[in-house]
Amino acid sequence: MSNPPALAGIKVADFSHFIAGPMASMILSDMGAEVIKIEKIDGGDDFRRLGPIAKPQEGPSREGAPYLWTNRNKKGIALDLRKPEGQAIARDIVARSDILLENFSAGVMARFGLDYDTLSADQPRLIYCAVSAYGRSGVLSDRLGFDPITQAESGFMSLNGEPGGVGMRAGPSIMDMSTAMMASNAMLGALFARERTGRGQYLECALFDQAVTMTGFHAMNYLVSGQEPQRFGNDSRDTVPTAAFQTADGPIYIACANDRTWQRLAEQVLDRPDLAADYASTASRIRDRDRILALVQDILRTRPRAAWLEPMRKAGVPAGAINTVKEAFDGPDIAERGLVSRIPHPTLGTVPNIALPIRMAGTPLVPPVAAPTLGQHSVTVLRDTLGYDQARIDALIAEGVVA
């Protein structure tokens, strides 16, 4: 008999939108938490309308692929928080929740009476997680910010791109996603702490802070040495050859992180034992970096990448094809890991699903359920979670408090 999911019984009131907040709550929902997504009544999460749009088989709902990506395994209710009745419903949901998650602009939750100070006075066990661009206090707190802006300001963008060029943003919204991971870690830590102390707490995660963290050891190198980190593109300043190379039919990436890997590459794959002997140390390869990279490149151009990657795998040389997204998702590796499936959707028939990269043997993740349509579970939440009778529910809908 299998155990229940890790977070079974935990309830989350999710006021968040776009990526960082919704992905954080989705991680909790995948682990079994009951997440109620609370959206504005006039259109809901703006992320719903970011294309490409999945076309419905029935009904008016049209869902954007990005929204579907970050909101599975949640119940959805649409409220007009501008109305006192809508605020009262939101407080009723929070009163039955272990965690509140929000990523509104500064001051919005306080305007609705949903700030931590107000709620925690009557609900000391509440864990309140605020996600923002620059934090909730200090001179930066009133600024609006988005993922690429924090990439730019933190120095992260300056580390990406080719030497001599302009710093480049990462393609995916890496600061939103990594902030979501940090926020989910914080909420899990707060749940564990509550078991010991009996009290909840206020949590804060800011995209800018996360962007600074994501500069990695390059920031520490600067703080220790005072030397400005430089862009190195697909190359590595520390190991050679660690770089992208062209083969006869497409690019690959090789990472020779130590001398042993270089020996295996030169002797067993490239059939150049002389290079293994002449450049046995990392220091010697760094000194003649340009020559080494040019020699390896000339050899790799002579055969298609499949002819190189298989012997590299057998020899223990870390290498892989530089795939397009289509190549990656149409290829065998993602299927082998079981990362993509299709799941039912109430109006779209089925939608694609990308699994969370977590395997939990003792408390498995819950089976995926598609992101809710706008207000899909409004009646269910009002009736089953909050205990409202049908007459009250009908009145709230008629008055435009609930969609």
What residues act catalytically? 176
What is the distance between the alpha carbons of residues 70 and 132, in angstroms, rounded to a whole number? 17
Radius of gyration (C-alpha) of the chain in whole angstroms: 25
Query: CA separation (Å) from 40 to 110, 340, 375, 377?
Result: 16, 30, 9, 14
Q: What is the DSSP letter of 58?
A: S
Torsion sign across C-alpha atoms 362, 129, 345, 65: negative
Name the H helices within 246-381: 259-264, 273-278, 282-287, 289-300, 305-315, 325-330, 332-337, 378-380
* φ, ψ at 180 (rounded to 5°): -60, -40
For residue 63, give the amino acid letter: E
- Among candidate residues 385, 369, 386, 378, the one with its CA nearest the CA of residue 403: 378
- How many Cα atoms sit within 13 Å of 188 on the Cβ side? 18
Residues 235, 243 contacting (CB under 8 angstroms): yes
Name the H helices within 112-173: 116-122, 147-153
Query: CA separation (Å) from 124 to 33, 127, 194, 199, 203?
Result: 20, 8, 10, 6, 14
- Among candidate residues 76, 77, 53, 73, the one with its CA nearest the CA of residue 63: 53
Please report, to the nearest 10 degrees, the dihedral formed by the alpha carbons of residues 331, 332, 334, 336 taken in order. Answer: 170
Residues 31, 5 contacting (CB under 8 angstroms): yes
Name the H helices within 113-238: 116-122, 147-153, 174-197, 207-213, 217-225
